[in-house]
Amino acid sequence: MEIEYALGKVELCGPQAETVAATPMFRDWLKRLDPKLRMRRITFQSVDIVGEGPKKRVLFAKFFADCVDEEGTPVPGIVFMRGGAVGILVVLECQGREYVVLTRQPRLPAGEGALLEIPAGMLDGEGHFASVAAKELEEEAGLRIEEESLFDLTRWAWKERWRGVLSSPGGSDEFVRIFLYRRPVEPEALAELEGRKTGVAKEHEKIEIAVLPLDELPFRTPDSKSLAAYCLYRLFQERTAIEVGAKGE
């Protein structure tokens, strides 16, 4: 089959080509391609689909793209497509110090049985960044908040130039939009969060909450979205003169 994109038509082939081509994830990726990248053919190699009936959706897709640059030089074209995600940096100010709320859970692809990360989750396929962030924060950290309480750090930094942090741009389209949630709390609230068990059982999530001083985050996890969130927040504080104890919205 062939579909239109900015520079003309591109041929799609391989298993589940029509199914993937119809997804917002793939359509959005194709639409946002840099005009310097000229696509000739896309061959799907494997597709992971979850759910049934109306809830059926493409979770991941791996494909090879026959692509050249403006000079006709081939561009490395293996893509693991998983779409966008959101991450939430939860900063709690207590007695003049800043603390961060992290999740601890198994991450099989990284070979880790208990990796510390900021709460995060994949998009719903419709690009509802803030609503997904609020939902993930409740599911993973047990914190129920309003969408309006979230501050979009990636939008603050890059406006609409980039949609989020690119975790592995040489192999995947994945981007993570980083939100900030910040508020003052009492010591009892911190103690209550530490060690809390959360997660969605039907999705086999086994999550434990960890609370630690914010400045320890870079030394306690190698997770790129968590490190990016920390850097963006510190830059935001520096540029806007936000002080500990001030409101972060």
pLDDT higher than threshold 90 for residue 36: yes
What is the pLDDT, as a whole number, of residue 242? 58
Condensed to tens digits (0 to 9), the pLDDT of residues 78-102 reads 999 999 999 999 999 999 999 999 9
Residues 6+ apart with CB under 8 A from 201: none
Lowest mean pLDDT among 8-12, 75-79, 143-147, 165-169: 143-147
- 131 token code pair: 């609503």
**For the residues 128-156, what does the mean pLDDT come to?**
86
At residue 39, the pLDDT reads 93
Stretch 165-191: mean pLDDT, rounded?
Answer: 93
Q: What is the pLDDT of residues 19-32, one digit of tens each?
A: 999 999 999 999 99
pLDDT at 141 over 80: no
Average pLDDT in the 48-74 region? 91
Q: Domain coordinates of the chain in residue numbers?
A: 2-81, 84-240
CA-CA distances (angstroms) from residue 119 to 87, 163, 208?
6, 18, 11
CB atoms within 10 A of CB 112: 16
What own/partner pairs with CB < 8 Å and gap ≥ 24 does 59-67 have? Answer: 61/16, 61/20, 61/25, 61/26, 63/14, 63/20, 65/39, 65/41, 66/39, 66/40, 66/41, 66/42, 67/37, 67/38, 67/39, 67/40
Residue 4 CB-half CA count within 13 A: 1
Report the range of poorest mean pLDDT among 2-6, 114-118, 232-236, 244-248. Answer: 244-248
Closest CA to 44 of 60, 68, 27: 60
CB atoms within 10 A of CB 70: 9
Higher pLDDT, 82 or 56: 82
What is the residue whose two structure tokens read 């936000």? Answer: 242
Q: What is the pLDDT of residue 200?
A: 63
At residue 69, what are phi and psi to the nearest 5 degrees? Answer: -90, -170
Task: Quote the percentage of the chain above a pLDDT of 90.
Answer: 68
Instruction: Please say if the pLDDT value at position 247 is more than 50.
Output: no
Least confident of 108-112, 172-176, 203-207, 208-212: 203-207
pLDDT at residue 189 tops 90:
no
Indicate the pTM of the whole model.
Answer: 0.88
List the Cα angle 174/176/180 in 5-degree steps. 175
Dist. CA 231–CA 129, nearest whole Å = 20
Arithmetic mean of pLDDT over the chain: 89
Are 103 and 117 spatial neighbours (Cβ–Cβ below 8 Å)?
Answer: yes
Find out whether 103 and 118 touch, Cβ atoms under 8 Å: yes
CATH 3.90.79.10 fits 84-240, yes or no: yes
